[in-house]
A and B are shown apart, each in its own frame.
Chain A
């Protein structure tokens, strides 16, 4: 296993001279799931894009560093709400698209193994159009795993799925991403309480930790402690953080 680092963000974020959020001091722990919640437009996805080194509308004044000092963006992979599968490629070609885009020879054996782990072996030659939403998101997960990077940034990857499929995907992701440093942006308190080792609430004024039960994720959906935590988190979010 490649070393999964802890990532720290310190600073503030301005758009056209106006403060969007911060100053924040937030850390994403090594090898664990950190769930990021906050109202729409507060800049959750921006944080994820900043870590990935993607373009954003404003400026981050501060620093984003890993505890081992190595660059972060090149060790991070990304999974979004939209599966971002290429409709003209079959499932396996979509899973190996990273290697293709780097002009490298794909490792099909590994791709087959990962496709098997996400349970799509019977659909390897199918185009995304022939797959259900849940299957497409599993394919996207396989593509993310194929990159084999120690940091994984997830931007509401399960939010468009129906409740049953979403729970299945959460189980699968928790199992397959074990040991990686994961940041999950989500709107769903239940998802955050199921999956998170830590929960961070982002607001204009900063990033604050939310206390979770002592149990380890992934927590069962009917775990009473988790349900209590989820209910109080929801109440907190409704009160406007």
Chain B
């Protein structure tokens, strides 16, 4: 069987269930549109959806790059300075207890209605998973390797660069895979709170005008976009892991 068979069957099954639900509940199309109506709306509004998808895509990509870089740098600093880690880790965990959703209005106030506030949202939402996964990896290097390095008179910087970071790359990779799924959530929340462009904005707009078929179409595009990000980031992340395990 082709490796695409299962995903294809799963999609078909989902569409069938959806259509069955429409028939079974006899819901009007402005409450629950049938799959073909959504497909039609997606096709007719393809230019509109594409335009907004580019905005959300840009926010997510920039958010991923900035968030992943900040997370990686933080993790390395925490691993290099254990006292700093003891001081700031509880603080980092505390900031995670504040729901990012609740911060969205204030971020919009600070960074404006443009893509800036959405990038910050995406950065905030992925910063912790990346930092925590990578830091975990950096702290869990085989103790024997560190002993060996010490007997060889290794410098701290070289141990970090040549032993700790390469050993922790698989952990960083799993953090990045999570980040790829979280980043669009951050961007869309930002768009809901205040924006004039982006898929989140388009969803609200379509909802407000009772164009539920367009809203569904946008939602599906958003989901596909997230899947695409996850796929691309997973491929890059697996390369990192391969480099670490086999070179």
Q: Give the B-binding residues of A (Cβ under 8 A).
A: 49, 52-54, 73-74, 76-78, 80, 82, 84, 86-90, 97-98, 100-103, 127, 129, 147
Q: With A78-B147, A78-B148, A88-B166 in contact, do A100 and B247 touch (Cβ < 8 Å)? A: no
Contact pick for B144, options A73, A76, A80, A100, CB 8 Å: A80
In angstroms, how far is the closest chain B Cβ from the Cβ of A49?
A: 8
A102: chain B residues within 8 A (beta carbon) = 152-155, 158
Q: List 25 A-B contacts (CB under 8 A).
A: A52-B150, A73-B151, A77-B152, A78-B147, A78-B151, A80-B144, A80-B148, A82-B142, A84-B142, A84-B144, A87-B244, A88-B166, A88-B243, A88-B244, A88-B246, A88-B247, A89-B247, A97-B162, A98-B152, A98-B153, A101-B152, A101-B154, A101-B155, A103-B155, A129-B245
A127 and B246 contacting across the interface, CB-CB below 8 Å: yes
B152 and A97 contacting across the interface, CB-CB below 8 Å: yes
Main secondary structure of the interface of B (DSSP, over half): helix
Q: How far is the CA of A77 from the CA of B152 in the complex (A)?
A: 7
Q: Which of A77, A78, A89 counts the most B-chain CB atoms under 10 A from its CB?
A: A78
In angstroms, how far is the closest chain A Cβ from the Cβ of B131?
A: 23
B246 and A87 contacting across the interface, CB-CB below 8 Å: yes
B151: chain A residues within 8 A (beta carbon) = 52, 54, 73, 76-78
Q: Give the A-binding residues of B (Cβ under 8 A).
A: 142, 144-145, 147-155, 157-159, 162-163, 166, 243-247
B152: chain A residues within 8 A (beta carbon) = 77, 97-98, 101-102, 147
A127 and B247 contacting across the interface, CB-CB below 8 Å: yes
Q: With A78-B151, A87-B247, A147-B152 in contact, do A101 and B144 touch (Cβ < 8 Å)? A: no
What number of A-B contacts does a CB cutoff of 8 Å give? Answer: 70
B150: chain A residues within 8 A (beta carbon) = 52-54
Q: With A54-B151, A97-B152, A101-B162 in contact, do A88 and B145 touch (Cβ < 8 Å)? A: no
Q: Which of A49, A86, A89, A101 counts the most B-chain CB atoms under 10 A from its CB?
A: A101
A89: chain B residues within 8 A (beta carbon) = 247
B145 and A84 contacting across the interface, CB-CB below 8 Å: yes
Q: How far is the CA of A76 from the CA of B147 in the complex (A)?
A: 13
In angstroms, how far is the closest chain A Cβ from the Cβ of B169?
A: 8
Q: Who on chain A is nearest to B148 by CB?
A: A84
A78: chain B residues within 8 A (beta carbon) = 147-148, 151
Q: Who on chain A is nearest to B245 by CB?
A: A87
In angstroms, how far is the closest chain B Cβ from the Cβ of A152?
A: 11
In angstroms, how far is the closest chain B Cβ from the Cβ of A216?
A: 29
B147 and A54 contacting across the interface, CB-CB below 8 Å: yes
Contact pick for B145, options A86, A98, A147, CB 8 Å: A86
B148: chain A residues within 8 A (beta carbon) = 78, 80, 84
9 smallest beta-carbon distances between A and B, as pairs: A101-B154, A98-B152, A88-B247, A78-B151, A101-B158, A84-B148, A127-B247, A84-B144, A88-B166
A86 and B166 contacting across the interface, CB-CB below 8 Å: yes
In angstroms, how far is the closest chain A Cβ from the Cβ of B161?
A: 9
In angstroms, how far is the closest chain B Cβ from the Cβ of A47?
A: 15
Q: How far is the CA of A135 from the CA of B107 in the complex (A)?
A: 58
Q: Which of A76, A77, A102 counts the most B-chain CB atoms under 10 A from its CB?
A: A102
